[in-house]
Amino acid sequence: MNRQVLTDIVPRVDFAWWETALMRTGFAMLLLSRFPPLGSLPAPGAELRFPNGVAKWIDMSWVLDPAGYSIITILLHAAAALYITGFAFPLSSTVLFLCYLVTGTLQNSLGSISHYYQVMTLMLLGQSVASWLWAASSKNRLATWIRSPATLHSFTTRVTLQVLAGNYVLCALTKLVNSKGAWIWNSQYMPVQYAKIQAQHYYTTMQPADLGFGGTLNELCTQYPWLCMLVYAPGLIVELLTFLMLFGRVWLLIIGLTVIAMHVLVDITMNLGFPQHQWIFFLYAVNLPFWIVKGIQNLPLGLRRHPA
Amino acid sequence: MDLLQPVLGWLRAWPWFVASIVLGFLIKENFPFSHWPMYSNFSRESGYVYVINGAGEPIAAASLFETAPRLRRQFERERKAESMRARNRKLEKSGAEIDREAATHLLKRLAQRLSPEERKAANGLGLVSARVRMDEKRKITVSERTVAMIGFEGIPYTPPSQEGEPSKETL
């Protein structure tokens, strides 16, 4: 087999300016709507017993003060507006990253690690580092600041997709490492987790969760271990194969829809919702505007094909 | 070996993909990095915790600006810290003693968020640890024990911010 053939099947996707503009707009809105409220952070003056991440070295507790939090939200909104325009992208993505870094770190510094904001923050980190590198290596260094270069945004979008794929594959690899390769076999014990999750829902609000189809499915899974494995094994396989979305537009669409479907199923069967992850895959991987435009261009109307 | 070259070629084409995996494994749970250990292994047994008042009635974690999963993780973290402290000081402590001290730390932190009126109504706080088990016949049972109870003497009131809802995350 010609090795070059396999290496060459990794295409470089060039995203059009309007695609990345729509992605930035959608992501900025997601960042604004999902930003941790002050009520979800430790109280001002509360002891951060288990400082997490950079909080081990830098005191960020000033953000817990309402005045400090106000400064962060003003910065967040200003940076989000700039981020949408695409101008001064290294600055806007870095400020957004720092806003999420500070609040996410503080939230995780009481001893419990939540996995709610990591993906969004890692995407911002990737975009920030990539845009600084792009700016530093660009022939016209001013272009990053006074224009909104399509090539920069196309590059940071490719970086974002790699970061997303990397973290989903990492999630699958951790499952395989921690279970010593027996994750699918051990998923027969998922009803134990299900019982725990339902109890945790109840003791969070003192309201019983509406189990719906998930309750019926769990009862069946409790009786039939093979059904458990059949229901949950695809989740691991989907995570493991997320890297396929780096193989071009069609794979992006397929994997994007598959990951969204996986999250919907996890939400139904386990009451574990990750709406922000679904939105991210909808924006960056499914990329509906591209397929609508491509569909229109393919209509026999004599319209010019988009070069992307 | 034929496949090694193209695989290396792909990995060279995806440096951010590779970096995400390597950094996640190396840095582990340090925000924003994570190696995503949640639900990475399953066994016949698991557990959760919840808070009770002085009369033994459950209190919604949301009213303490927490979620039950966050309380469980904080309790586990406190247990590890207590266990480490005992080992470093060469103290011989039973599992129940370590649990009690860890739960007391957690409860005192939660008690700081209760106003004088809420404290009067609660008349103390306790932490219940529940174990969920699946037996050989796949029957699931839950066993509970109260790990610690505290009063409010000497605990300052640190009002949490009322701005915004506490987060709803469950993982």
Please answer yes or no on whether A52 and B29 come within 8 Å at the CB atom.
yes
Q: B50 with B37, same domain?
A: no
Q: B35 with B98, same domain?
A: no
Q: Which residue of A lies nearest to B1 if distances are taken between CA atoms?
A: A3
Q: A122 with A181, same domain?
A: no
The reply to whether B72 falls in a domain is: yes
Q: What is the spatial distance between Cα B138 and Cα B131, in angstroms, rounded to a whole number?
A: 15
pLDDT of residue A190: 93
Measured in angstroms, the CA of B14 and the nearest CA of chain A are apart by 7
Q: B25 with B54, same domain?
A: no
The reply to whether A130 falls in a domain is: yes
Averaged pLDDT, B39-66: 95
Domain boundary residue, one of A99, A118, A147: A147
Q: A235 with A171, same domain?
A: yes
Helix (H) or strand (E) holding B130: strand B125-134
Domain boundary residue, one of A147, A177, A192: A147
Q: B105 with B53, same domain?
A: yes
More confident residue, A307 or B60: B60
Q: B55 with B73, same domain?
A: yes
Whether B30 shows a pLDDT value over 70: the answer reads yes
Q: A215 with A113, same domain?
A: no
Q: A57 with A129, same domain?
A: yes
| Contacting residues of A for B165, CB less than 8 Å apart | 37, 39-40
Q: Does B19 contact chain A (CB < 8 Å)?
A: yes
> In total, how many domains does chain A have?
2
Whether B18 shows a pLDDT value over 60: the answer reads yes
Q: A198 with A104, same domain?
A: no
Q: Does B141 contact chain A (CB < 8 Å)?
A: no
Q: A277 with A205, same domain?
A: yes
Averaged pLDDT, B50-66: 95
**Strand pairing category for B45-53 and B58-59:** antiparallel
The reply to whether B114 falls in a domain is: yes
| Contacting residues of B for A126, CB less than 8 Å apart | 16, 20
Q: Does A178 contact chain B (CB < 8 Å)?
A: yes
The reply to whether A177 falls in a domain is: yes
- For A111, the closest of B73, B113, B162 (CB atoms) is B73
Picking from A113, A156, A188, A251 by the largest number of B CB atoms within 10 A of its own CB, the best residue to mutate is: A113
Question: Domain limits at B50?
Answer: 45-150
- For B164, the closest of A37, A118, A163 (CB atoms) is A37
Domain boundary residue, one of A147, A175, A208: A147
Measured in angstroms, the CA of B90 and the nearest CA of chain A are apart by 22
Q: Does B33 contact chain A (CB < 8 Å)?
A: yes
Q: A87 with A221, same domain?
A: no
Q: B56 with B120, same domain?
A: yes
The reply to whether A25 falls in a domain is: no
Q: Does B5 contact chain A (CB < 8 Å)?
A: yes
Q: B36 with B54, same domain?
A: no
pLDDT in tens, B31-48: 999 999 999 999 999 999
In chain B, residues 119-138 whose CB comes closer than 8 Å to chain A: 130, 132-134, 138
The reply to whether B166 falls in a domain is: no
Q: B54 with B122, same domain?
A: yes
The reply to whether A153 falls in a domain is: no
Q: B33 with B61, same domain?
A: no
Please answer yes or no on whether A166 and B43 come within 8 Å at the CB atom.
no
Q: A233 with A138, same domain?
A: no
Please answer yes or no on whether B134 and A126 come within 8 Å at the CB atom.
no
More confident residue, B85 or A308: B85
Q: A181 with A227, same domain?
A: yes
**Strand pairing category for B125-134 and B140-150:** antiparallel
Q: Does B96 contact chain A (CB < 8 Å)?
A: no
Q: B6 with B50, same domain?
A: no
The reply to whether B121 falls in a domain is: yes
Q: B73 with B100, same domain?
A: yes
Please answer yes or no on whether B31 and A175 come within 8 Å at the CB atom.
no
In chain A, residues 255-274 whose CB comes closer than 8 Å to chain B: 271-274
Whether the CB-CB separation of A221 and A227 falls below 8 Å is answered with yes
The reply to whether B167 falls in a domain is: no
Q: B36 with B63, same domain?
A: no
Q: Does A276 contact chain B (CB < 8 Å)?
A: no
Number of neighbours of residue A272 by Cβ within 10 angstroms: 19
pLDDT in tens, A45-65: 878 889 999 999 999 999 999
> In total, how many domains does chain B have?
2
Q: A204 with A308, same domain?
A: yes
Among the listed residues A166, A36, A23, the one whose alpha carbon sits nearest the alpha carbon of residue A101 = A36
Question: Domain limits at A42?
Answer: 35-147
Among the listed residues B120, B132, B141, the one whose alpha carbon sits nearest the alpha carbon of residue B50 = B132
The reply to whether B53 falls in a domain is: yes
> Phi/psi zone of residue A248: left (φ > 0), alpha (ψ -120 to 50 degrees), beta?
left
Q: A255 with A179, same domain?
A: yes
The reply to whether B165 falls in a domain is: no
Whether the CB-CB separation of B98 and B76 falls below 8 Å is answered with no
Please answer yes or no on whether B134 and A189 come within 8 Å at the CB atom.
yes
pLDDT in tens, A65-121: 999 999 999 999 999 999 999 999 999 999 999 999 999 999 999 888 889 899 999
Structure tokens at A203: 């003791």
The reply to whether A139 falls in a domain is: yes
The ipTM is 0.91
Q: A123 with A72, same domain?
A: yes
Residue B90 half-sphere exposure, CB side, CA atoms within 13 Å?
0
- For B132, the closest of A115, A195, A271 (CB atoms) is A195
